[in-house]
Amino acid sequence: MAESFKTPVEVSKIANLHYFEFISGYHTNENHHNFCELLYVDRGIITVQSENFSGDLSDNQLIIHRPNEVHSLFCDEDTAPNVIIIGFECASPDIEILSNRAYTLNADQKRQLAEVMQEGMSVFAPPYDLPDIEEMKKREDFPYGADQMLKLRLELFLISIIRECKSIHSSSRSIPNSTDSISNVRQYITDHYTEKILLENICFLFGTNKTTLCKKFKTEYGTTILNYINDLKVREAKVLLRENKLSVTEISEKLGFNSIHYFCRLFKKTTGQSPKEYTKTIQSKLNL
């Protein structure tokens, strides 16, 4: 008789799935839930206080609060972080390994978490950015098997992290291949997107031509170079708006726009709101 599968990590329920764009200075009151809570910083820094961990989480770091663990988070006055929170039930004692220290995701684990979020948003109905919603409602018409796929993706993600934590090689990280020119092109753009980037310059730096460069970039990342640059600019603009230190004009100039009018048009085209409308919406959602 064949042995049954070993299932060291089983998610029995997912209560909520959030993506927050916090403003600087935001904080939560102490709270606790009867389920685990995954807290991940997509961008920025937050300070966490809990029974098992007190300290800062920064880009690509996560921690998991145990059921009924009292916890709270704080954003300092200088940063406006993007944060993912997922509430789920899991009886595995191995989750403990992620409750008392910050864990930094590698590139593959970040991809897995993105897949969890994408699947989750096909299962749960919005909004995803309102605090204090412990039990989110599911869509009535989510795709076939999406809730099971969400459960499996989250389990796979947790197993990946716990396995690495338990491994004697846990300090190792996957390193991008330096010969991967498209990966290097994307990194160059990410480092310089506030400057004037010309395709001719990129082609010269990476020894390619426009046709090959654009085709490979679109195939690898599913978007054009221009759209990728604009998405980076809008994302940074949202952070700067939430930090509330610069005017819209100053943000436009900081991000390398030649015209504030073009910046506002691009921002509204991407987000559906003007910069000022976006700021007011975030403040309203956070009950400020």
Question: What is the per-residue pLDDT across 23-34, written as a single tens digit (0 to 9) for each?
Answer: 999 999 999 999
Q: Is the peptide bond before 67 cis (omega within 30 degrees of 0)?
A: no
Residue 235 in tokens: 């994302």
Domain limit, last residue, from 107, 140, 166: 166
> Per the domain annotation, does 172 fall within a domain?
no
Same structural domain for residues 117 and 86? Answer: yes
* CA-based nearest residue to 74, from 133, 7, 25, 5: 25
Euclidean distance between CA atoms 148 and 92, whole angstroms: 19
Same structural domain for residues 188 and 150? Answer: no
- What's the order of all strands across the beta sheet hosting 11-21? 11-21, 82-90, 36-43, 61-65, 103-104
Residue 114 in tokens: 């993105």
Q: What is the CATH number of the domain that holds 259?
A: 1.10.10.60
> Per the domain annotation, does 2 fall within a domain?
no
Same structural domain for residues 136 and 258? Answer: no
Euclidean distance between CA atoms 48 and 232, whole angstroms: 27
Same structural domain for residues 96 and 225? Answer: no
Residue 224 structural domain: 181-285
Same structural domain for residues 15 and 143? Answer: yes
Total count of domains within the chain: 2
Instruction: Please tell me which of 4-8, 149-153, 185-189 the model is most confident about, judged by mean pLDDT.
Output: 149-153
pLDDT 10s digits, 87-127: 999 999 999 999 988 999 988 899 999 999 999 999 999 99
Same structural domain for residues 102 and 157? Answer: yes
Q: Is 284 buried (19+), middle (13-18) or exposed (0-12) by CB count in 10 A? A: exposed
pLDDT 10s digits, 224-255: 999 999 999 999 999 999 999 999 999 999 99
- How would you classify the pairing of strands 71-74 and 46-50? antiparallel
Residue 238 in tokens: 């949202």
pLDDT 10s digits, 40-90: 999 999 999 998 899 999 999 999 999 999 999 999 888 899 999 999 999
Q: What is the CATH number of the domain that holds 132?
A: 2.60.120.280
